[in-house]
């Protein structure tokens, strides 16, 4: 059995300027809006942490793994196979999967791990610096996790939504977030273990968190070569849909049609950038 977390209980983050939590979510409508405006290839999924294993196992039509997996694989089963899957730390391949979501204690040994030294990083000091840079939800409170397609509404609400999209789709999504109540969005990149930049950071801060999925996510989680990942608290999704609809009315749509590298852009600039 995995050693129980020793860190004090910590709640999932809520950004100070986050939109208010809606009274209720219309999950099919939100997913329909994302697909209508962004034409996503993969199913948008939710991720939720649970205080107890029993709470996780009470979710409708929950599946449990029959072997150990990377968390990337569990997420992939939800987005590619439309499964609702629940796990504990004992179902994961190791601490590197459990720590970002708060299922494994990060201090002190894990943060000082040199397991990646000589493979991903040149020295022990580089490997430790990488571990210390990772965004993680502190351990201590949560003991189980589930992922499920958003449209099912089984995780109502999930702690975060996971949206996989191309760079073109992702910039339109970000434009939609910024359409009203503009805020500069800043993201991070730890390199390998990029789940810390997506679901780890979003869970810890309560903010939308964009990542470049890493080698492991592509190797084990089926992430496609052209995909980025946005981990976003669901309270932002109505704002995203409203922003996408407004941009669409203004002619700013996905896919973005190329004007051509030798054309005069004046007419298009007048439509898209001048009031």
Q: In the structure, what pLDDT confidence band is assigned to residue 40 with cuts at 50, 70 and 90?
A: very high
Confidence of residue 8 (pLDDT cuts 50, 70, 90): very low
- The mean per-residue pLDDT over the stretch 42-49 comes to 97
Per-residue pLDDT tens for 159-174? 999 999 999 999 999 9
pTM metric for this prediction: 0.93
The pLDDT of residue 69 is above 90 = yes
Q: Retrieve residue 103's tokens.
A: 């299922």
Confidence of residue 275 (pLDDT cuts 50, 70, 90): low
Whether the CB-CB separation of 256 and 168 falls below 8 Å is answered with yes
Checking if the pLDDT of 33 tops 80, the result is yes
Q: Which two tokens stand for residue 274?
A: 């001048």
pLDDT at 236 over 70: yes
Q: Please write the tens of the pLDDT for every residue from 187-224.
A: 999 999 999 999 999 999 999 999 999 999 999 999 99
Residue 92 bridge partners (DSSP): 69
Q: Which percentage of the chain shows pLDDT scores above 70?
A: 96
- Tokens describing residue 108: 């002190």
Is the predicted pLDDT of residue 5 greater than 70, yes or no?
A: no
pLDDT digits (tens, 9 = 90+) for 177-187: 999 999 999 99
DSSP string, the chain: -PPPP-SPP-PPP--TTPPPPPS---HHHHHHHHHHHH--SS--EEEEEESSHHHHHTSTT-B--SS-B-HHHHHHHHHHH---EEE-GGGBSSHHHHGGGTSS--TTTGGG--TTBTTTBSSHHHHHHHHHH---PPSSS--EEEEEEGGG--SSS-SEEEEEE-HHHHHHHHHHHHSSS---------SSSGGGTTHHHHHHH-S-EEE---HHHHHHS---TT-EEEEE-GGGHHHHHHHHHHHHHTT--SS-----TTS--HHHHHHHT--
Q: What is the pLDDT of residue 267?
A: 87
In which band, very low, low, confident or very high, does the pLDDT at 11 lie, cut at 50, 70 and 90? confident
Q: What is the pLDDT of residues 123-143, one digit of tens each?
A: 999 999 999 999 999 999 999
Hey, where are the domains in the chain?
27-252
Query: Could you give phi then psi for residue 37, rounded to 5 degrees?
Result: -90, -25
């Amino acid at each position: 059995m995995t050693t129980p977390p020793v860190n004090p209980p910590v709640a999932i983050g809520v950004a100070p300027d986050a939109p208010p939590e809606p009274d209720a979510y219309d999950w099919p409508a939100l997913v329909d809006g994302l697909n209508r405006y962004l034409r996503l290839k993969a199913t948008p999924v939710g991720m939720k942490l649970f205080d107890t294993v029993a709470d996780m196992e009470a979710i409708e039509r929950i599946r449990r793994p029959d072997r150990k997996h990377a968390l990337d694989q569990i997420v992939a089963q939800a987005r590619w196979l439309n499964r609702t899957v629940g796990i504990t730390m004992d179902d994961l391949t190791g601490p590197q999967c459990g720590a970002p979501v708060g299922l494994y204690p990060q201090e002190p040994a894990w943060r000082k791990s040199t397991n990646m030294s000589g493979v991903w990083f040149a020295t022990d000091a580089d490997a430790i610096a990488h571990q210390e840079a990772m965004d993680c939800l502190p351990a201590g409170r949560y003991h189980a996790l589930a992922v499920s397609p958003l449209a099912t509404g089984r995780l109502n609400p999930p702690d975060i939504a996971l949206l996989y999209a191309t760079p073109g789709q992702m910039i339109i999504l970000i434009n939609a977030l910024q359409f009203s109540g503009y805020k500069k969005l800043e993201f991070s990149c730890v390199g390998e273990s990029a789940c810390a930049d997506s679901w780890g950071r979003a869970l810890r801060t309560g903010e939308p968190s964009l990542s470049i999925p890493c080698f492991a996510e592509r190797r084990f989680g089926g992430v496609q070569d052209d995909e980025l990942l946005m981990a976003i608290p669901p309270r932002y999704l109505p704002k995203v849909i409203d922003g996408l609809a407004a941009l669409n009315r203004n002619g700013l749509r996905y896919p973005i049609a190329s004007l051509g590298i030798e054309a005069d852009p004046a007419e298009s600039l007048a439509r898209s950038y001048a009031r």
